[in-house]
């Protein structure tokens, strides 16, 4: 089954798009995606393949997410999400344990943004969340991004505390990808409760990286945007 999936991934490859993706995901020397290799599949194509091969076992999934090609890894993580959606509680724990054990293979932002909230977020929403605080303090850029993006699922259920607390941990992070992720989650919180966002901004806007602040205030009215930017 794994060989057949690899064959179909190859059949869907687009060399021209692969070159564009390589630039977009910063694969050059010294960049955050250094050395990543693309085949040029679109996300919808990968989702369809993941649904088709949802019954792939975890041993084969491990091979898939350790593949050098970005699309193999993303398709593997999509499969993991779809397996989780179909699983019973015992199987769900096994899937999440697998994800955490191999989270280092989520080594670009899309591999996190398409998966973390849908898998880890759904699993932890009513469980102990100490793992997320460990990840938020990790030396790994990708661990820190997993921590904040996972909280998107909590926001969808109007649970704001963990987004706020993890955003505060990441407030002085040095990486632009974290500034964007935190700003995005704060904006999503504001879509659901503008007062909560403004409470956070009133406390922290003077110390927020500019990119984080701009993302966070994107949906506010112009007067409020101007107030926070000028301050």
Q: Which tens digit of pLDDT belongs to each residue from 178-214?
A: 999 999 999 999 999 999 999 999 999 999 999 999 9
Predicted confidence (pLDDT) at residue 217 exceeds the cutoff of 80: yes
What pLDDT band is residue 134 in, cutting at 50, 70 and 90? very high
Predicted confidence (pLDDT) at residue 74 exceeds the cutoff of 80: yes
**Range 29-56 average pLDDT:** 95
Q: What are the residue boundaries of the structural domains of the chain, listed by start? A: 1-114, 126-231
Kindly list the distances between the CA atom of residue 57 and the CA atoms of 63, 64, 75, in Å, as whole numbers in the listed order: 10, 11, 14
Mean pLDDT value across the chain:
96
CATH of the domain spanning 126-231, picked from 1.25.10.90, 3.40.50.300, 1.10.760.10, 1.10.3720.10 = 1.25.10.90
pTM of the model: 0.95
Predicted confidence (pLDDT) at residue 231 exceeds the cutoff of 90: no
CATH of the domain spanning 1-114, picked from 3.10.20.740, 1.25.10.90, 1.20.1630.10, 1.10.357.10 = 1.25.10.90
* Residues 108, 70 contacting (CB under 8 angstroms): yes
pLDDT tens digits, 83-106: 999 999 999 999 999 999 999 999
């Amino acid at each position: 089954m794994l060989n057949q999936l690899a064959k179909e991934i190859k059949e869907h490859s687009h060399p021209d798009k692969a070159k564009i993706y390589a630039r977009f995901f910063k694969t050059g020397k010294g960049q955050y995606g250094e050395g990543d290799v693309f085949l040029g599949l679109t996300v919808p194509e990968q989702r369809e393949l993941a649904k088709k091969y949802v019954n792939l076992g975890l041993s084969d999934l491990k091979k898939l997410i350790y593949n050098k090609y970005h699309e193999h890894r993303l398709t593997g993580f999509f499969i993991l999400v779809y397996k989780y959606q179909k699983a019973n509680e015992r199987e769900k724990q096994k899937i999440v344990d697998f994800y955490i054990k191999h989270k280092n293979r989520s080594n670009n932002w899309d591999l996190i943004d398409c998966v973390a909230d849908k898998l880890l977020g759904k699993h932890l929403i009513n469980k102990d969340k100490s793992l997320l605080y460990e990840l938020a303090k990790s030396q790994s850029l990708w661990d820190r991004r997993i921590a904040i993006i996972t909280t998107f699922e909590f926001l969808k259920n109007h649970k704001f505390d963990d987004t706020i607390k993890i955003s505060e941990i990441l407030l002085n992070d040095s990486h632009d990808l974290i500034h964007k992720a935190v700003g995005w989650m704060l904006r999503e919180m504001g879509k659901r409760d503008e007062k909560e966002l403004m409470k956070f901004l009133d406390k922290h806007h003077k110390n927020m990286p500019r990119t984080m602040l701009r993302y966070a205030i994107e949906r506010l009215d112009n007067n409020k945007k101007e107030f926070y930017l000028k301050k």
